[in-house]
């Protein structure tokens, strides 16, 4: 990865203001931004960080020479080795002058940004990382072909996290290296992405729901979300490696992700019924069961509004359920490969019986969800794009459902303090959200973290 010069400023995670031992109660120190956490991965053998600098002795330094106006190029050195350099220097300079005037920049600053992707492409970097908004904006339009691997620090860190999880490599948390087993790591990540889960789960009665303790029912919601994160990883990983050959395996992961998310929603309905003391037979409980929902209006109006027609959770529940219900009819199928914004993406056909239902729920912003209309008129999904809308939206809906489930009237409970375990403390959760590419779920913005090939 090639880091833009401004990203070098400040301490790396685990150093300076973030120094500390991350695997003790209380976890890591502070809440560093993505750039600080990314800098800490310079110590990881699987990640090579290069950066533009004036210091010829800096490890990983990329040092630009003075431009050669006669040859119309600017050369640079990497690890003391001279590279041919970037051709068309005059054109880059003219482009920088135009950008400087448009964005109110110094010409030298604009030129550094213009040259950065050229340098990264010349030395075949997997990712070119910058926080310059105007440079990130150039990934679309006329410049998209040359800027496809330009990433923000958040996107680059999410890509690093996916790469390490996919290959079973250690991760760095708070500057400390750990070979974190996949299951407990994704359980901790799911916990971090559902901030209301702690209080919601702690309210579970100590008796049984049939053969299982209620606490097991509640915990299974977290398990299903954690599995959904694993299936999300697999979809991106498989689609990045010979997508056509791996299409069926990727579709199996997509099926599993849908089952897990719908299962998590179903559990929140059962828990709401339990906490409200409705004692409804299990087969009659569900967010889609109108007779059961009618009981919520008087007992939990905020929850009813959140999950009802027009509510925040309603649409994502419907979308997930429509596709999950393909288990009863034709399966999802791979239909082809299409370039979307410079990226190769798996396209998945939607069974005809579900097409209209899906379009009804996504009619306003179907393109953002990866909806594609084929020349035949059939509807297809860009699988990775769809997943990157579905998973964040589902996490927001699940957490909102938990936070709106009334706990009043339940026996007094004292939540266990997970802050005593570094895996579940807020500082570790902050870093996990960054590594999973889900740092801020409040906006439900599409996540484009996985733009580069693993």
In the predicted model, what is the mean pLDDT of residues 189-204? 92
Which range has highest mean pLDDT (164-173, 327-336, 360-369)?
164-173
pLDDT at 357: 79
Q: Six-digit token pair at 134? A: 């105007």
pLDDT tens per residue, range 17-37: 999 999 988 889 999 999 999
pLDDT tens per residue, range 343-364: 556 788 887 777 887 888 876 6
Task: State the pLDDT confidence band at 220, using cuts at 50, 70 and 90.
Answer: very high
Task: State the pLDDT confidence band at 451, using cuts at 50, 70 and 90.
Answer: very low
In the predicted model, what is the mean pLDDT of residues 414-430? 79
pLDDT at 223: 97
Residue 113 has pLDDT above 50, yes or no: yes
More reliable by pLDDT, 81 or 364:
81
Query: What ranges do the domains of the chain cover?
Result: 2-159, 182-415
pLDDT tens per residue, range 114-171: 999 999 988 889 999 999 999 999 887 666 666 768 999 999 999 999 999 999 999 9
In the predicted model, what is the mean pLDDT of residues 419-447? 80
Task: State the pLDDT confidence band at 245, using cuts at 50, 70 and 90.
Answer: confident
Residue 222 has pLDDT above 90, yes or no: yes
Task: State the pLDDT confidence band at 212, using cuts at 50, 70 and 90.
Answer: low
pLDDT at 447: 45
Planar angle of CA 140, 142, 143, nearest 5 degrees: 70
Task: State the pLDDT confidence band at 444, using cuts at 50, 70 and 90.
Answer: very low
In 3D, which of 374, 376, 372 has the Cα closest to residue 340?
372
pLDDT at 334: 78
pLDDT at 257: 96
What average pLDDT does the chain have? 86
Residue 452 has pLDDT above 60, yes or no: no
Task: State the pLDDT confidence band at 80, using cuts at 50, 70 and 90.
Answer: low
Query: SS3 string of the chain?
Result: CEECHHHHCCCCCCCHHHCCCCCCCCCCCCCCCHHHHHHHHHHCCCCCCEEECCCCCCCCEEEECCCECCCCEEEEEECCEEEEEEECHHHHHHHHHHHHHHHCCCHHHHHHHHHHHHHHHHCCCCCEECCCHHHHHCCCHHHHHHCCCEECHHHHHHHHHHHHHHHCCCEEECCEEECCCHHHHHHHHHHHHCCCHHHHHHCCCCCEECCEEHHHHHHHHHHHHHHHHHHHHHHHHHHHCCCCCCHHHHHHHHHHHHHHHHHHHHHHHHHHHHHCCCCCCHHHCCCCCHHHHHHHHHHCHHHHHHHCCCCHHHHHHHHHHHHHHHHHCCCCEEEEEEEECCEEEEEEECCHHHHHHHHHHCCCCCCCCCEEECCCCCEEEEHHHHHHHHHHHHHHHHHHHHHCCCCCCCCCCCCCCHHHCHHHCHHHHHHHHHHCCCCCCCCCCCCCCCCCCC
In the predicted model, what is the mean pLDDT of residues 255-284? 93
pLDDT at 34: 96
pLDDT at 413: 58
CA distance 201 to 216: 10
Quote the percentage of the chain above a pLDDT of 70: 86
In the predicted model, what is the mean pLDDT of residues 80-109? 89
Query: What's phi and psi for 124, nearest 5 deg?
Result: 60, 50
Residue 81 has pLDDT above 80, yes or no: no
């Amino acid at each position: 990865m090639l880091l833009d010069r401004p990203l070098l400023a400040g301490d790396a995670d685990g150093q300076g203001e973030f120094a500390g031992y991350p695997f003790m109660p209380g976890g890591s120190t502070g809440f560093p931004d993505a750039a600080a956490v990314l800098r800490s991965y310079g110590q990881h053998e699987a990640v090579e960080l290069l950066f533009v600098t004036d210091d010829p002795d800096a490890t990983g330094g990329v040092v630009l020479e003075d431009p050669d106006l006669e040859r119309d190029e600017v050369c640079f050195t990497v690890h003391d080795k001279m590279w041919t350099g970037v051709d068309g220097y005059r054109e880059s300079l003219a482009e920088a002058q135009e950008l400087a005037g448009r964005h109110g920049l110094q010409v030298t600053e604009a030129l550094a940004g213009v040259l950065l992707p050229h340098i990264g492409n010349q030395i075949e970097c997997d990712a070119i990382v910058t926080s310059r908004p105007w440079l990130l904006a150039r990934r679309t339009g006329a410049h998209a072909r040359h800027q496809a691997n330009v990433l923000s620090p958040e996107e680059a860190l999410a890509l690093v996290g996916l790469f390490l999880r996919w290959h079973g490599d250690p991760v760095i948390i708070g500057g400390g290296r750990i070979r974190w087993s996949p299951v407990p790591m994704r359980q901790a990540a799911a916990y971090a992405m559902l901030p209301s889960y702690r209080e919601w789960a702690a309210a579970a009665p100590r008796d049984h729901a049939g053969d299982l303790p209620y606490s097991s029912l509640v915990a299974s919601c977290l398990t299903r979300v954690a599995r959904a994160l694993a299936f999300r990883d697999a979809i991106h990983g498989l689609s990045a490696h010979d997508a056509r050959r791996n299409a069926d395996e990727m579709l199996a992961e997509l099926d599993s992700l849908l089952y897990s998310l719908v299962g998590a929603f179903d559990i929140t309905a059962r828990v709401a019924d339990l906490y409200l003391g409705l004692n409804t037979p299990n087969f009659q409980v569900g967010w889609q069961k109108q007779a059961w929902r009618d009981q919520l209006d008087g007992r939990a109006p905020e929850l009813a509004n959140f999950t009802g027609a027009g509510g925040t959770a309603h649409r994502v529940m419907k979308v997930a359920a429509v596709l999950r219900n393909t288990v009863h009819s034709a399966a999802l199928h791979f239909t082809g490969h299409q370039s979307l914004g410079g990226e190769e993406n798996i396209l998945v056909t939607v069974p005809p019986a579900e097409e209209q239902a899906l379009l009804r729920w996504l009619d306003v912003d179907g393109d953002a969800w990866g909806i594609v209309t084929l020349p035949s008129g059939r509807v297809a999904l860009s699988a990775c794009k769809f997943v990157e809308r579905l998973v964040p939206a589902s996490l927001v809906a699940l957490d909102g459902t938990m936070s709106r489930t009334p706990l009043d009237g339940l026996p007094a409970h004292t939540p266990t303090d997970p802050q005593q375990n570094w895996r579940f403390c807020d500082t570790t959760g902050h870093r996990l959200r960054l590594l999973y590419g889900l740092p801020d779920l409040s906006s439900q913005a599409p996540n484009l973290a996985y733009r580069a090939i693993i």
